Homo-oligomer: A and B are copies of this chain.
Amino acid sequence: MKIVLAQLNFSIGDFEKNSFKIREAIRHAKKEKADLVVFSELAICGYPPLDFLEFDDFVERCKKEIAGLAKECIGIAAIVGGPSVNPGLEGKNLFNSAYFLEGGKIRNEIHKSLLPNYDVFDEYRYFEPGKNSECIELNGVKIALTICEDLWNVEDDPMYVNCPMDELTKEKPQIMINIAASPFDHTHAEKRKAILKRNALQYKIPVVYVNHVGAQTELIFDGGSLVLNDAGDVVHELKYFEEDVLSFEFPENRGSVTGETKGKQPVSKIQSIHDALTLGIRDYFQKQNFTKAILGLSGGIDSAVVLALAVETLGEKNVHAVLMPSPFSSRESVDDSLALSKNLGNSCDIIPIEPLYNEYLSSLKSQFGNLPFNVAEENIQARIRGNILMALSNKSGYIVLNTSNKSELAVGYGTLYGDMAGGLSVIGDVYKTEVYELAHYINRHKKIIPETIIAKAPSAELRPGQKDSDSLPDYNILDSLLFQYIEQRKGPAELMASEFDAALVNRVLKLVNTNEYKRSQAPPILRVSPKAFGLGRRMPIVGKYLS
């Protein structure tokens, strides 16, 4: 039996495009004399469709498209993810289903049993868990068909009380197929392989895994679809961060699936973050028909890295940098920014903000009176820059790329409506120490980001001689503490019991928690870690715990 894994980039709610892609892949697979072609979870509508699922019109459109695709499936079978209506009187109205199309019609609808509802996932918001698992059959081969999370209950501390594969294996299937929309984080490809291997070994069955690829605003799906034999060895691995299609022969005697693994998974954490971010930028623009980006270039490492990623992704002709020096900006910041833009080939403008800054101070003279210089004057500068970038965006159709990093977002070291403005936050899930690693990675072949930008002490340059280190601990310490609090959810006692000073823990945790209001108004952040700010981290704004 010849099986095709179709790892494609779908768009949420773009039915025409999604159906077209699926139809083309079916036709292509037919020509290749394949028996079965497999698409990812909720392929028909894109993942995650979120509250569009609450519109009958949306769900009906999915059904109509699936029915149309079924007609293509003569002489070939296909598995396509899509929502289906729960015909029962009780429970939620929908299932998250795998449609098994064959003989010109829908032969089976298999429903996802385990619905992830943690971090970025909200599936229990829409779907009823499938209850009656059964295998499907094609050309005499019994297939245990599951959907993404259905395979993830083999951990030692299972999150669910049932396990679909335990039921399905009673029917003695010869192969397991799992369709997924499993979002990237830099730890996930490894975890995913381990889980699939565990399934292959536990149930002694080869595994075909088809993942979604492409970015949906903040969520990045990395592809990396897999075929494993029943010893849990990876025998086929599809590309990461790209569409890919692979056909392989399943010989119908268990376990004899063979092939040669080419090890496509990016090796280093930073390389995978880099590849994820460029895909994230590309799809944000392509899926909205945007072409041009703009960003403020400060002379610091954050905006330098974002500019380099943007130029790599969109092309130097489509990226415009704006230098907006204030009275507190150093000459080096301007020089370094110009050198960087020269290296990258993007256009850039210098718009000094001193006249505007002075005009604000003059307009606010009677209100500010003799009150001392404080964060107000600092933020005015940042917000002038935000206004200028947005004005250029409004005038010429640029999308503003935000350059805040995860460390400063965490502690609120940024100006709402100023440097926190933008359509998309590129490195908002990348800690400052990782931003440096990204800079080195970007410079791996040739010096793109000038050494002076990498070497200088971080500064917001919003008051004379300001350095980040005046008000924040060393980034190595800060990032380690933030990681343990945010990603690992360690509480204050745990943190103090490890390497951190009690006063530092209290100060940093308070900063993180009291800045929830700022982050709640941040642009969407490309997610590359297991716990990013945004969709997957939901904290009370008005909350007293640790603040």
Contacts and interface: CB of A to CB of B under 8 A. Distances in A.
Interface of A: 11-15, 17, 46, 48-52, 54-58, 88-92, 117-118, 122, 124-125, 128, 157-161, 216-217, 283-284, 287-288, 349, 351-353, 355-356, 359-360, 362-364, 366-368, 371, 374-376, 379-380, 383-384, 386-388, 390-392, 394-396, 416-417, 421, 423, 489, 491-494, 517, 520-524, 537-547
A363 B543 CA distance: 42
Q: How many copies does the complex hold?
A: 2
Given A159-B92, A359-B359, A388 B376 contact: no
Contacts of A91: 158-161
B379 A390 contact: yes
Contact of A376 (B14, B394, B492, B544): B394
A363 B384 CA distance: 11
A55 B160 contact: no
Nearest to A380: B391
B117 A287 contact: no
B122 A544 contact: no
Contact of A371 (B366, B395, B541): B395
A543 B117 contact: no
Nearest to A422: B521
Given A12-B543, A359-B359, A380 B387 contact: yes
Given A88-B161, A92-B159, 10 more contacts: A13-B540, A56-B491, A117-B125, A216-B540, A351-B367, A355-B362, A367-B392, A379-B391, A386-B417, A387-B387
A55 B521 contact: no
Contact of A160 (B49, B90, B394, B540): B90
A92 B283 CA distance: 34
A49 to B, nearest CB: 7
13 contacts: A13-B547, A49-B545, A51-B538, A52-B543, A55-B491, A58-B545, A88-B161, A90-B158, A117-B124, A117-B125, A122-B122, A356-B359, A417-B421
B392 A284 contact: no
A350 to B, nearest CB: 10
B356 A363 contact: yes
A423 B517 contact: yes
Given A117-B117, A125-B118, A390-B379, A374 B353 contact: no
Given A58-B491, A545-B58, A538 B50 contact: yes
A546 B546 CA distance: 43
Contacts of A376: 391-392, 394-395
Nearest to A18: B544
Nearest to A218: B541
Nearest to A355: B359
A92 to B, nearest CB: 6
Given A125-B118, A355-B362, A356-B356, A394 B379 contact: yes
Given A417-B386, A522-B521, A546 B13 contact: yes
A494 B55 CA distance: 11
Contacts of A390: 379, 383, 416-417
Contacts of A157: 89
Contacts of A48: 540
Nearest to A372: B395
Closest 9 CB pairs of A and B: A57-B491, A13-B545, A376-B394, A14-B544, A417-B417, A376-B395, A12-B543, A124-B124, A383-B387
Contacts of A288: 542
